[in-house]
């Protein structure tokens, strides 16, 4: 494990670029890092520093405290020359945290090279161990992204029938007043003949879902619609998503489905729990919170969600990782009450989610950054991909309907993997 006292002394230089090529075109094949939204974002490669966080028995926020200390010490120990001065310039870490603190895999990675794009400006950041050194990672060859080829698909931990039984059990426990809501996830496995080129998935996801946040951190790749938080200075914004329906095949069908979603007691109940969870998490950390009384409709390429945009002004001294610790797990990916939901997830899912449904994103030395919830994603390991999809279960949930919803969420990564 890397600990906060072992942060290296780094020399960091950020300069403007005139290069306006797409960010993904800069990436070499080996271990790319990415965070993209509507063409803006960051890509990185190489590794100047890494923090691997320990597992924890209790969700007391210790891993987020450790991450905050490590990032603060790394920034204090760095010699920084930044002629751009935007969020995402200077020292930047890409990170991902496991859904369950008992799971291993939470990590922060500071790349050797970062290319960023925001509001029409492009920049290059290089991170080396001594002044005047040239990052070898800058010379990493950029090859063409490879096709994936045929795939062999197999069930994950639970078959569709077994997962449907788990949903039915969860509904019984909710009706028995043990909890209000739980989010149950499934996994699905795919294997290719050769190593899967993550850049192929990134290109396809960014093109198909430009309004989502396309990410890749340490092998976890996806396009999440759910922004956990964006921080700029002392302000944070977030987006609550809970309540889902598929898109229609015609405009009339699409409108009918949207109207049913907005009128659904089950879906609006699920969304209300998520919004109330966010408000409760932010209240101790913020001087003001703005959250709409009623959700709006967010339409994506494959599904439509009930959505509530939120914003808050943080109190002095509150770090970005303080906010992440308070917000995770949201009711949209865990349930409510949070501890009872986590216990039921451990009992019924029968699997380790890893970093699925955990916070994923980036942070700079000022504390600015963007973090999403790792949804619509897959973990890649050589030629293998493990896909994830989850559904919010409340008293009115139907197992067959939840299976259909999970299948619609799997389609994001299944399509990205299909040549």
Please tell me the distance from the alpha carbon of residue 398 to that of residue 219, in angstroms, as a whole number. Answer: 33
The 3-state DSSP composition of the chain as helix, strand, coil percent (nearest 5) reads 30, 35, 35
The β-bridge partners of 188 are 155, 387
The β-bridge partners of 121 are 118
Catalytic site residue from 29, 226, 267, 405: 226
Please tell me the distance from the alpha carbon of residue 303 to that of residue 183, in angstroms, as a whole number. Answer: 18
Q: What phi and psi values does residue 16 have, to the nearest 5 degrees? A: -70, 150
Catalytic site residue from 6, 58, 181, 276: 181
**Does the active-site annotation cover 181?**
yes
415 CB-contact burial (10 Å; exposed 0-12 / middle 13-18 / buried 19+): middle
Q: What phi and psi values does residue 271 have, to the nearest 5 degrees? A: -70, -40
**CA distances (Å), origin 132, targets 79, 129, 322:** 12, 9, 36
The β-bridge partners of 21 are none
**Does the active-site annotation cover 276?**
no
The answer for 403, left when phi > 0, alpha when psi is -120 to 50, beta otherwise, is: alpha
Sign of the C-alpha dihedral, residues 234, 240, 246, 250? Answer: negative
- Give the helix/strand (H/E) hosting 346: helix 338-348
**Residue bearing tokens 């209000």:** 180
Question: Coil, strand or helix: which one is 394?
Answer: coil
Residues annotated as catalytic are 181, 226
């Amino acid at each position: 494990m890397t600990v906060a006292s072992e942060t290296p002394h780094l020399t960091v230089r950020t300069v403007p670029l005139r290069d306006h090529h797409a960010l993904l075109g800069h990436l070499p094949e080996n271990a790319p890092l990415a965070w993209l939204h509507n063409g803006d974002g960051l890509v990185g490669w190489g590794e100047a520093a890494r923090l691997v966080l320990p597992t924890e028995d209790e969700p007391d926020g210790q891993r987020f405290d450790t991450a905050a200390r490590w990032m603060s010490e790394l920034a204090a120990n760095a010699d920084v020359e930044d002629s751009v001065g935007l969020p995402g310039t200077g020292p930047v870490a890409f990170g991902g945290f496991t859904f369950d603190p008992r799971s291993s895999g939470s990590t922060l990675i500071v790349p050797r090279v970062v290319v960023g794009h925001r509001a029409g400006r492009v920049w290059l950041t290089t991170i080396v161990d001594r002044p005047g050194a040239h990052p070898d990672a800058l010379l990493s060859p950029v090859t063409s992204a490879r096709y994936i080829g045929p795939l062999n698909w197999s069930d994950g931990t639970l078959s569709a029938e077994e997962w449907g039984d788990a949903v039915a059990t969860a509904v019984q426990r909710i009706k028995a007043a043990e909890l209000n809501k739980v989010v149950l996830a499934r996994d699905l496995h795919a294997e290719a003949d050769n190593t899967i080129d993550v850049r192929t998935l990134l290109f396809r996801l960014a093109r198909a879902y430009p309004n989502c946040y396309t990410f890749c951190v340490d092998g976890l790749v996806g396009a999440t619609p759910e922004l956990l938080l964006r921080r700029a200075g002392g302000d944070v914004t977030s987006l609550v998503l809970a309540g889902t329906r598929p898109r229609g095949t015609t405009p009339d069908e699409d409108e009918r489905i949207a109207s049913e979603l907005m009128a659904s007691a089950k879906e609006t109940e699920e969304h209300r729990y998520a919004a109330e969870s966010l408000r409760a998490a932010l209240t101790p950390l913020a001087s003001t919170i703005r959250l709409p009384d009623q959700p709006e409709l967010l339409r994506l390429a494959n599904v439509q969600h009930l959505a509530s945009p939120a914003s808050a002004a943080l109190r002095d001294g509150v770090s970005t990782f303080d906010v992440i610790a308070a917000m995770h797990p949201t009711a949209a990916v865990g349930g409510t009450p949070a501890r009872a939901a986590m216990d039921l997830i451990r009992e019924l899912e029968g699997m380790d989610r890893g970093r699925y449904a955990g916070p994923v994103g980036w942070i700079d030395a000022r504390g600015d950054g963007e973090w999403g919830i790792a949804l619509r994603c897959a973990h890649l390991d050589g030629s293998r991909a493990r896909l994830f999809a989850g559904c919010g279960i409340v008293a009115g949930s139907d197992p067959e309907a939840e299976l259909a919803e999970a299948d619609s969420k799997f389609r994001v990564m299944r399509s990205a993997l299909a040549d």
